[in-house]
Amino acid sequence: MMTKQLVDGYAVMLQDRITHGWDACLLSFMFNSLPGNDRTRVKLMMEEVRATYHKLLTRLYRHPHSKRHDQLPFLIAAPDYQVPKHDRTTHVNPEINNGLHIHAAFACPRHTRLKTNLTTFLTDWRDQLIGQNRYLAELHIKRITHDAPRLTDYLMKSIRRDELSADDILLLPEARGEYSSRTKYERLQAKTDGAKRRIRCRSR
């Protein structure tokens, strides 16, 4: 079972960055129909969130691999089920993927290549990530400035209810530096995998 201490720890990590002036937002990832059972779908969804993080790195920094771990953007993501009675903010169709979607808190330093604030940039950029021929159907973005504990608790609600596992949480960057740990081959393979995902979506 998800412990309060673990949720509190994630909240502290997020709040510390907000307090130090990082831009932060809540990202809600909604997906087109994905193959497999819920475990398979969660894995595919998290792969897409991870790929989105890597794409964003190259827009934030000219040489992201040269950045220290604590200079890289912070992301914490968790899967969730749609609960129509209590959560209508993301407009998830419960008939698609059993209502599964992903919520993520994303924070990055202000001194990046962006010429605008993070929320505006992501809102303009999301059209390059979503579509009927992609896994990602929609990306909702909401700026956050405070109350990290409440937000983190919201992200983890399906895990707290034991509907999903704490092992499904995605925390980036990883301790050794998520971007720098990938070889050139792995980055090229990630691009190839993304193309295959779009091809599979078109063929269904």
Tokens of 91: 């407009």
What's residue 108's pLDDT?
Answer: 94
What's residue 183's pLDDT?
Answer: 55
pLDDT tens sequence across 82-102: 765 555 555 678 889 999 999
Task: Let me know: does 60 contact 23? Beta carbons within 8 Å.
Answer: no
User: In the structure, what pLDDT confidence band is assigned to residue 37 with cuts at 50, 70 and 90?
Assistant: very high
User: In the structure, what pLDDT confidence band is assigned to residue 201 with cuts at 50, 70 and 90?
Assistant: low
- Overall domain count for the chain: 1
What is the extent of the structural domain holding 55? Answer: 4-203
CA atoms within 13 A on the CB side of 196: 7
Q: Kindly provide the residue ranges of all beta strands, DSSP E only, lying in 1-135, ordered along the sequence.
A: 23-31, 74-81, 100-108
Between residues 26 and 2, which one has the greater pLDDT?
26
Which helix (H) or strand (E) element contains residue 138? strand 136-143
Q: What is the DSSP string of 95-126?
A: TSGGGEEEEEEEEE-S-SS-SS-HHHHHHHHG
CA 83 to CA 102: how far, in whole Å? Answer: 13
pTM of this prediction? 0.82
